[in-house]
Amino acid sequence: MELLSLELNINENKEIINNIKIITNLDESDIDIEISSVSDNNLSILYSTNDKLNKKKYLEKIIGKITKLITEFIKHESKKYFEENYFYFDEGEFGQLQESIEDEIENDIKIQLVVKNKLKEILENSKTINLNGFIKFRLKFINLYVSQIVEKSIDSFLMKQEYLDFLNIINYISETESKENDLVNIMYIKDKLQLYDSKMKKLNYISNVEISQELDGKVLIYDEFIVNVLLNISPKKIILHLTKVKGVNMEAKNTIDLIKRIFEGKVEICNGCKFCELE
């Protein structure tokens, strides 16, 4: 029993032919695949089965494989678009960006659903799909989609670079500032991060940044307070006493991550001490 038939031209969409194994090597013994030459430049791939009861399941699997093949084609188009329009990135940056772009496409469930639904639309009226024609006429949006994904990834990359540059500047400032407290302990008490000096005396410190925020009528965000205090104190060493932290909230997680980034090389993780027992 025929499930569906694919037709494709070997001279069009070369990336499709390069990845044809995706749709011709199915790990399903009950699906028969017959590849034949319709003409010098055209191939036909016929999928069939004797198992009528599982026809729908097999068809879904084949459609999934075709969608995977088209996803690889979209990745190829993204790389081509990127190379043609953003040639000024160096080799290392290009590699990072291309990996990010491909991950974005690979994990985009929405685009996969669109491709699958369009394939199913054809199969409602026909068992034959011309793959080259399908890409050209049914997936006209691919070029726009590729340009948006590439530009989105570049924007994210540049923002990350600016963020890392900012952290480097902050780290430099913290190195050159006078040290008010050489050592700061950070405890997680009552679901909050709290600061203590080297003698475990709680630090009650408000920087100019917090004051200006309060005067401007802005809500004081706890993690910003912690980071700003540390930047003002600029300690030589920070000890994180977090042994009892369970299911820590995202605000505290973000704070801890930011502290590790800004004060890289100065942060020590405590695995348990007498102060941890008091948390």
| pLDDT for the residue numbered 182 | 79
Residues 199 and 147 in one domain: no
SS3 call for 20: coil
Work out the mean pLDDT of the chain and round it to a whole number. Answer: 83
Residue that terminates a domain, selected from 153, 170, 187 = 170
Q: How far apart are CA 38 and CA 270, in angstroms?
A: 70
Residues 211 and 86 in one domain: no
Structural domain span for residue 253: 179-278
Residues 139 and 235 in one domain: no
pTM for this prediction: 0.63
Q: How far apart are CA 39 and CA 43, in angstroms?
A: 7
CATH of the domain at 214: 3.30.420
Q: What confidence category does residue 273 fall into, taking pLDDT thresholds of 50, 70 and 90? A: confident
| pLDDT for the residue numbered 193 | 84
Residues 36 and 100 in one domain: yes
Q: What is the mean pLDDT of residues 71-84?
A: 95
Residue that terminates a domain, selected from 170, 199, 232 = 170
Residues 155 and 261 in one domain: no
Q: What is the mean pLDDT of residues 189-217?
A: 64
Nearby residues of 14 by Cβ (< 8 Å), 6 or more positions away: none
Domain total for the chain?
2
Residues 158 and 228 in one domain: no
SS3 call for 196: strand
Q: How far apart are CA 51 and CA 32, in angstroms?
A: 11
Residues 125 and 197 in one domain: no
Residues 150 and 248 in one domain: no
171, pLDDT greater than 80: no
Q: How far apart are CA 57 and CA 44, in angstroms?
A: 22
Q: Output helix, strand, coil percentages for the chain, rounded to the nearest 5.
A: 55, 15, 30
Residue that terminates a domain, selected from 143, 170, 197 = 170
pLDDT tens-place string over residues 5-46:
999 998 888 889 899 999 998 887 789 999 998 777 899 999
Nearby residues of 118 by Cβ (< 8 Å), 6 or more positions away: 134, 138, 139
Residues 15 and 121 in one domain: yes
Percentage of the residues of the chain whose pLDDT score is greater than 70: 85
pLDDT tens-place string over residues 221-264:
446 778 888 887 778 899 998 776 666 677 787 788 888 888 88
Residues 149 and 265 in one domain: no
| pLDDT for the residue numbered 60 | 94
Residues 83 and 220 in one domain: no
| pLDDT for the residue numbered 181 | 66
Q: How far apart are CA 226 and CA 196, in angstroms?
A: 11
Residues 205 and 86 in one domain: no
| pLDDT for the residue numbered 219 | 41
Q: How far apart are CA 193 and CA 28, in angstroms?
A: 54
